[in-house]
Amino acid sequence: MPRIGIIVGSIAKNSINRTVANNVAALLPEGFEAEFLEFAELPMYSYDHDAAYPEVALAWKDAIASVDGVIIVTPEYSRSIPGVLKNALDWAARPWGQGSFNGKPVAIMGASIGAAGTAAAQQHLRAILGHYNAPTMGQPETFFQYNADAFGADGTVQDEASATVLRGFAEAAAAFVGAQVSVNA
């Protein structure tokens, strides 16, 4: 069964991107398993750590390496990805030549209350992942406009139009990861 790691680009307790990511995980097609990959405990990255990685950073790298593919659901902060996500990606990419994303298929999306969604953040994330040699799903680009009324008190999507968008992304991400896993098998 292919395992997809889900990374939420925000560590905020009430992140709308975590709500969306929970729904994407639930909407993955049968035969796919989701595992949330958490990075909140990572210290700030510095190459001073490259000679002796802290255990939390090794666990983060191992978590990425252990899944068949990754979905990143991120907000947009100041027209880019959140600093905490960039920090986590830096830990995953180092030391040089030991990057956890090398060859790892990744699908990205983000949620925002604004109509532009997370377009700028996703473009920056694509550039970073390209540098990491991570095949990145091109379509569908999913800039999800979050509306609290579309979700129930338990956080599950209730609005059919929103569910259709999230289901379409989840199915495309699973197909992308599945195709990459088949090629590399």
B/e letters for 53-78, b = 16+ CB within 10 Å, e = fewer, are beeebeebbebbeebbbbbbbbbbbe
Confidence category of residue 184, pLDDT binned at 50, 70, 90: low
What Rg do the C-alpha atoms of the chain give, in angstroms?
16
Q: What pLDDT sits at residue 136? A: 97
Q: Is the pLDDT of residue 89 over 80?
A: yes
Tens digit of pLDDT for each residue in 48-87?
A: 999 999 999 999 999 999 999 999 999 999 999 999 999 9
Amino acid at 21: A
Helix, strand, coil fractions of the chain, as percent rounded to 5: 40, 15, 40
- Counting residues of the chain whose pLDDT is more than 90, the rounded percentage is 92
Q: Is the pLDDT of residue 183 over 70?
A: no
Report field, pTM of the whole predicted structure over 0.85: yes
C-alpha 19/C-alpha 72 separation (Å) is: 13
